[in-house]
């Protein structure tokens, strides 16, 4: 056990709540601070996909698969600690090739699924896919039908992580942090709503709002918001037999019969207003793939701001030049998938000084070229 006795985790999204849980499980006293409500931002409005084999930046391949494995172990443990159902499950997903040029990459992806324990995939010609879901347009080249990905309610995951941390002794507190106290860059406390909370270490898990921490710690932490919108809809007829993903659109089946049309990506700062552009784009792409969606009814249009970095990799670990300052942010569009590994890695580094999670590509030092000089207080 390290000499760190009390850690303040700033940020009640999935990364912060997972970190609070991992630290609490390791026997560390934790205070989790969130200003707007647990899981109230991107972590509460994600599609909740746990998809480690596709859509992952190449440097994160091993990290993503490790995080997937951690998810599978985490789900029953959260239910045990909280006495509540998470409802996570593994699913089938059809990855559609819109034309012949997209077939070869999907056949190559099939090999990845077949070679990875717990996953499988088979190629379906267009007519075979339409036998399973006749509402799909005939104007496709085929699809890779995969099994092994997971899906969950991302807000429920975040809430249960916070509740599990609390069950293990953590304090969950509402408040707004305004500064980090330190002595010669050794963290001594967190200033929250005019009061100082003494601590040995702090974890910055503030998502797209990491810019404030950049000022507190005088260290470059380039994280910005990536706006994403989803349409939650109902449509006549039977539910989708599986998720269907095509270039420009994903159709996610939900247990309540809804189908979610996902998702857009825009760099529009901190704009959280639903847009006509997003509706038209998602609905247009969805009806081109499945014309029956013309009869669908909109239930809700959701918006979230995902935290992204310049190289699309998270920022994880201790800040160089500081003692007791750690970062766990920048999960981007894969934040729900990556959160368990992000949290485990940071908790390991705080408690043991090292981690078996592959995080070399995610260290904050990769942005140090732009570091500013600072003063101590």
| Cβ density class 200-236: b for 16+ within 10 Å, e for less | bbbbbbbbbbbebbbebbbbbbebbbbbbbbbbbebe
Interatomic CA distance for residues 58 and 53, integer angstroms: 10
Please check the confidence at residue 275 and state whether its pLDDT lies above 50.
yes
Confidence of residue 1 (pLDDT cuts 50, 70, 90): very low
Tell which residue, 200, 218, 223, has the closest CA to residue 319: 218
Q: Sign (positive/negative) of CA torsion 235, 145, 141, 130?
A: negative
Please check the confidence at residue 239 and state whether its pLDDT lies above 80.
yes
Class of domain 6-81+154-223+310-370 (CATH, top level): alpha beta
Q: What are the domain boundaries of the chain? A: 6-81+154-223+310-370, 90-148+225-306
| pLDDT for the residue 125 | 97
What's the mean pLDDT in 175-195?
97
Q: For 22-69, write each residue's pLDDT tens digit.
A: 999 999 999 999 999 999 999 999 999 999 999 999 999 999 999 999
Query: In terms of C-beta density within 10 A (0-12 exposed, 13-18 middle, 19 or more buried), how is residue 133 classed?
Result: middle
Tell which residue, 14, 280, 275, 375, has the closest CA to residue 162: 14
Q: How many CB atoms lie within 10 A of CB 1?
A: 9
Count how many Cα atoms sit within 13 Å of the Cα of residue 228 in the half-sphere of its side chain.
Answer: 28
For the chain, give the percent of residues with pLDDT over 70. 97
Chain CA centroid to CA 83, Å:
24
**How much is the CA Rg of the chain, to the nearest whole Å?**
21
Phi/psi for 302 (5° steps) reads: -105, 155
- Asked if CATH classification 3.40.50.170 holds for the domain at 90-148+225-306, the reply, yes or no, is no
HEC states along 109-128? HHHHHHHCCCCEEEEECHHH
| pLDDT for the residue 372 | 45
What's the mean pLDDT in 148-174?
98
Q: For 107-144, write each residue's pLDDT tens digit.
A: 999 999 999 999 999 999 999 999 999 999 999 999 99
Tell which residue, 302, 290, 285, 343, has the closest CA to residue 164: 343
Supply the DSSP symbol for 248. T
Please check the confidence at residue 311 and state whether its pLDDT lies above 50.
yes
Q: What is the dihedral of CA 100, 104, 106, 112, to 10 degrees?
A: 170
Residues in the chain: 377
Average pLDDT score over the chain:
95
| pLDDT for the residue 3 | 84
Q: H or E segment at 166?
A: helix 154-167
Interatomic CA distance for residues 234 and 67, integer angstroms: 32
Confidence of residue 377 (pLDDT cuts 50, 70, 90): very low
Contacts of 360 (CB under 8 A, 6+ apart): none
């Amino acid at each position: 056990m390290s000499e760190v006795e009390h850690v303040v985790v700033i940020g009640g999204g999935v990364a912060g709540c997972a970190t609070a849980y991992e630290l609490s499980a390791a026997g560390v006293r934790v205070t989790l601070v969130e200003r707007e409500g647990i899981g109230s931002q991107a972590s509460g409005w994600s599609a909740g996909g746990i998809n480690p084999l596709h859509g992952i930046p190449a440097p994160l391949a091993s990290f993503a698969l490790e995080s997937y494995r951690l998810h599978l172990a985490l789900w029953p443990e959260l239910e045990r600690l909280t006495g509540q159902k998470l409802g996570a499950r593994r699913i089938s997903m059809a990855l559609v090739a819109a034309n012949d040029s997209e077939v070869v990459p999907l056949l190559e992806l099939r090999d990845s699924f077949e070679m990875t324990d717990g996953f499988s995939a088979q190629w379906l010609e267009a007519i075979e896919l339409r036998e399973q879901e006749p509402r799909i347009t005939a104007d496709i080249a085929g699809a890779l039908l995969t099994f092994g990905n997971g899906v969950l309610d991302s807000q429920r995951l975040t809430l249960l992580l916070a509740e599990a941390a609390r069950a293990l002794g953590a304090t969950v507190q509402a408040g707004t942090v305004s500064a980090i106290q330190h002595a010669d860059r050794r963290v001594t406390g967190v200033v929250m709503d005019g009061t100082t909370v003494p601590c040995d270490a702090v974890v910055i898990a503030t998502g797209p709002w990491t810019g404030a921490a950049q000022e507190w710690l005088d260290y470059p932490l380039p994280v910005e918001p990536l706006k994403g919108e989803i349409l939650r809809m109902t449509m006549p007829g039977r539910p989708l037999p599986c998720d269907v993903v095509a270039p420009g659109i994903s159709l996610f089946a939900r247990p309540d019969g809804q189908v979610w049309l996902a998702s857009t990506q825009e760099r529009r700062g901190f704009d959280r207003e639903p847009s006509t552009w997003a509706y038209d784009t998602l609905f247009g792409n969805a009806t081109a793939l499945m014309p029956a969606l013309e009869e669908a009814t909109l239930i809700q249009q959701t918006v979230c701001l995902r935290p992204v970095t310049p190289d699309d990799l998270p920022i994880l670990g201790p800040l160089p030049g500081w003692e007791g300052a750690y970062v766990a942010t920048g999960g981007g569009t894969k934040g729900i998938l990556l959160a368990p590994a992000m949290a485990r890695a940071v908790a390991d580094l705080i408690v043991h000084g090292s981690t078996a999670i592959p995080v070399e590509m995610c260290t904050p030092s990769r942005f140090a070229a732009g570091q500013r000089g600072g003063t101590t207080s």
